[in-house]
Structure 1
Amino acid sequence: MSRPGSGASGTIRAVAPTGAPQRLTGRLRLVLAVLLVAQFMLAVDFSILNVGLPAIGDGLGFSLADLQWVSTAFALCAAGFTLFFGRIGDLVGRKRIFLLGLGVLGLASLAGGLAAGPGVLLVARVAQGLATAAVTPAGLSLLTTSFPEGPLRQKALGLNGALMSAGFTTGAILGGVLTDLLSWRWAFFINVPVALAVLLIAPAVINESRPEDRPKLDLPGALSVTLGLLGLVYGLTQAGEYGWTNPHALTGLIAGVVLLAVFYTVERKVAQPLVPLRVLRRRNVAWGNVLGLLAFVTETSLVYLLTLYLQKTLGFSPLAAGISFGVLGLGTVAGGMLAPKVIARTSTLTTLVAGGLIQTVFTAALLLLGTSTAASMGLLLPATFFGGVGNMLVIVGFMVTATSGLPDHEQGLATGLATMSQQVGIAMGTPIMSAVVTAATAGAVTAGAILHGVTVAIAVNAALVLLGVLLAALFLRTKPRQAAD
């Protein structure tokens, strides 16, 4: 595989290998369609139950304190095990992990939809999270190894990023529609026919992908990084729910940091590390993933903030609030279609910086939201559309940056790291912004207090996006150092 050359701006610009296809063939279109359908379904799962949580609690007898575990159990597993399963795909075959994970997802979704009590539902959510942690990096690495580095891969990653972000928004809308018109159980059942269709088609169109020489699994590294991520995500979710001084939150966060420090030490000494440190020393991998983390923290948490604003300040129903995010979904799709063209005509760095600036400006515009429904919606709808465009430019730029310049046998690792950044960002965003709102409102629940809390959190959100722009400009200006493969 060719190395990226340097573009006019001094950043990486991928060049396709000699003899690689320069356009989408019929078979590649089918491969792309199968992988995108699977990834879209996984993205929908992140948000489809949010609107239906009260109905689930009433239907299965969850206590108010325990209801958060319907979301937390999924997020913990999806974020904590992503890097582990990404590396397992490198060892035993990404296609095999992809298909196995989809099978588990279909069965877990069926079990969740049929659940008669809280215990069965939580087990199903854990299984869904584990399946997501397996399928997402495997599907992404199958995509990057199926499409040569360059314009075709950029186009595929653009479509993938657009559908994943749109899937998150679609989940919020679809969850409200299904819960209102049918039952919350259909938020589970809808996965079953989709997973079955992909399982029937994928074996015939997707080739197996794995390195010829299989390294040994770094078990100490796998355990320490998985448990470390579980601790961090658990601590963040508890902090968002109960505050940063909560003992469970502090214990989780401290344990997570300590275990990740142990992981770093293990990786320095083990002969065949789970994550070779030379890969993390690549500037495009390290800083690309930081930018991806910030991109997912900011946009997914903005959905939470605006849901709070629409329902608590403007008095929207859950369904009406969910439908309002359709414009954001359109913006992400438009951004995903636009990103490969921007990268091709300029550079990855230009795309990252331009996207971040667009997202910053239109996120900051939301600081002007008020209590008038007509005026606020006149601002919110275009701001979320263009903010979604900017966010998707950043996400596609991050995916291209973080997976470029690596050979096929390390694509599972690269996509595992990228997916981990995505999953952890999604899991982190809402707790962080929830804690900001709670601190700003000082416990008050009036419409005015909620508006003030949301406004403060939006300002923090915009500042985080701007931080990503500055990091990209500072650390991705020069060609990343390429370590020997």
Structure 2
Amino acid sequence: MTTGTTSPTHFSSRQRLILFVLLGAGFMLSVDFSILNVALPKVGAGVGLGLSGLPWITSAYALPAAGLTLLFGRVADLYGRRTIFLSGIALLIVASLIGGFAQNSELLLTGRVLQGLSTALAAPAALSLLTTSFAEGPVRDRVLGLNGALLSAGFTIGALVGGTLVSLLSWRAAFFINVPVAVAILVLTPGLITESVLPQRVKLDLPGAVTVTGGLLAVIYSIIEKTIPVAIVGVVLLAVFWVIELRSSAPLAPLHILKRPTVKWGNYAGLVIFSMETAMIFLMTIYLQNVLDFSPLITGLIFGVPGLAAVAAGVLAGRLIGRHGSRKILALGMGVQSLATVPLLFVGDHRIALVIVIPALFVGFFGHVPAIVSYTVTGTSGLPNEEQGLAGGLTSMTQQVAITIGIPVLSAIAATQSGELTGIHLALGVDVAVTLVSVAFIWIGLRSRGAVDPMMVSVNTSRESEAELAATPD
């Protein structure tokens, strides 16, 4: 589906409505991940869930969101992106009502599992609808810049909204807030977005779907629960998936896509960007509440104010990528995200530390969003429309896996120290080191033979894309 020709820097009224729907959906889904994080103790107390069970409020969401995203991204290619997107939004309404009305831990966790499943359905479909609705080049880069801004802002605003709702109303409001937004999306979407063109008689690669989904779920679960046997099962299933894809006549994830340097290194960058930043936010949440003794509301405000930098950076990101190329902006954004964390290695246990914390968060968020946009542009550009669902599924899966594994990995590192503040400093140091080393790998990997900058691809194909847009009716 296309929306017609437009100026490289302006959107038509219909495109603005499409952006409102798709970006609003992505923002809502990103808020869902973090909105309960600052209020886990109150949520657990509300349904009789003990301290040891609190992490499962997050994990119950993250497992299906990370493990099923790749599968549903490909399903959207085969059976209709709009259909899968709307199915995810409808399921989110049901899941939010279950969670909001839950009187026991079983219903609460059921609601969170269904919320994760709705994210796996809707997120890759929404991204592929974005990338196929706007021509590759300056327009799409601007769109992905706005998407990256709202995606990053969603995580921080989720903490702000969660703290506010819990303090003023109840933790149940954090579930119910989804419902009116999701209903509006369900009403608006059919009249704005047409169904994607379905391929002829392409069957779903069922063995590939089963093995990759089982493998991802096992690996992610093993990281959350720190169980080596389950990790081994997951690795074996992923190896079997690779063999199946080599032999399949209609693979779930064609290996020629997975081997593309832009796809490979773009998604590796996304894994580092999201895992390290999400873990940093979690560690600083612990620092602000446990070490500096701030309330959930104040903690949300401390993250929310610097989070405004994410919006500003998202507006600039597309233009910066168009001018300098995604490879340079990706490396620069990751470098800024990492170096902004360095001052946090030296904060103490007095509230005067906010003089360091707030500016560091502001600069870090400003670098974080261009990095997100650059990895998304890198991972989804230069591919035909019929593979955009898979590309969107890969980038969405990378995001979900990253935000799932980053917290338990760096938390485990922090737990090796006897003092809480010392452990936070150590884990943040690992965060900085991993990100900086990864910048070097990605810079070299995207420079290797065959790794064409997506912006060069867009320049070479812009006339062809414009001709296709002009020939396609709304």
TM-score by length of 2: 0.92
Match in the other structure for 2:337: 359
Residue of structure 1 aligned with 2:438, choices 465, 468, 471: 468
Report the Cα offset of residue 63 of structure 1.
Answer: 2.6
CA distance in 1, matches of 2:218, 2:179: 31
Structure 2 CA distance, aligned partners of 1:48 and 1:175?
5
**Which has the larger displacement, 411-420 or 110-119?**
110-119
Q: Does 1:69 align with 2:56?
A: yes
Aligned pairs (5 A) from 1:67-466: 67-239=54-226, 249-374=227-352, 376-441=353-418, 449-466=419-436
Matched residue type, 2:37: N
Percent identity over the alignment is: 49
Q: Report how far residue 61 of structure 1 moved.
A: 1.2
Equivalent-residue separation in structure 1 for 2:267 and 2:363 (angstroms): 23
Taking the aligned partners of 2:323 and 2:425, their CA distance within structure 1 comes to: 36
Q: Distance in 2 between matches of 1:322 and 1:191?
A: 19
For the residues of structure 2 that align with 1:478 and 1:331, how far apart are their CA atoms? 33
Q: Deviations over 1:134-162 (max 9, x none)?
A: 00000000000001100111111111111
> In proportion to residue count, which structure has more helix?
2
Does structure 1 retain, via aligned residues, the 8 Å contact 2:159–2:304? Answer: no
Bigger CA drift: 427-436 or 466-475? 466-475
- SS of 1:405's equivalent in the other structure is coil
**Contact 1:112/1:188, CA 8 A, preserved across alignment:** yes
Using the TM superposition, give the Cα deviation of residue 210 of structure 1 relative to its aligned residue in structure 2, in angstroms: 3.6
C-alpha contact (below 8 Å) 2:445/2:451 kept by paired residues: no
Contact map agreement 2:333 2:367 (CA 8 A) in 1: yes
SS in 2 for 1:477: coil
CA distance in 1, matches of 2:372, 2:73: 19
Q: Which amino acid aligns with 1:435?
A: A
Matched residue type, 2:380: T
SS at match of 1:439: coil
Q: Which runs of 5+ in 2 are unaligned?
A: 453-474
Corresponding residue SS for 2:53: coil
Structure 2: distance between partners of 1:210 and 1:157: 22
TM-score, L = length of structure 1: 0.90
Matched residue, 1:31: 18
CA shift for structure 1 position 479: 6.3
Mapped contact 1:302–1:458 kept (Cα < 8 A): yes
The aligned length equals 451
Secondary structure class of the residue paired with 2:341:
helix
CA drift at 1:56: 1.9
Q: Any conservation in 2 of the 1:331–1:384 contact (CA below 8 Å)?
A: no
- RMSD over aligned CA atoms reads 1.8
SS of equivalent to 1:271: coil
- Contact 1:89/1:210 (<8 A) preserved: no
Letter of the 2:357 counterpart = L
In structure 1, what residue type is equivalent to 2:304?
A: G
In structure 1, the gaps of 5 or more residues are: 2-17, 240-248, 442-448
1:96-128 deviations in Å (ceiling 9; x for gaps): 000111001011101111112222112111111
Shift of 1:21: 5.2
Are positions 1:477 and 2:455 aligned together?
no
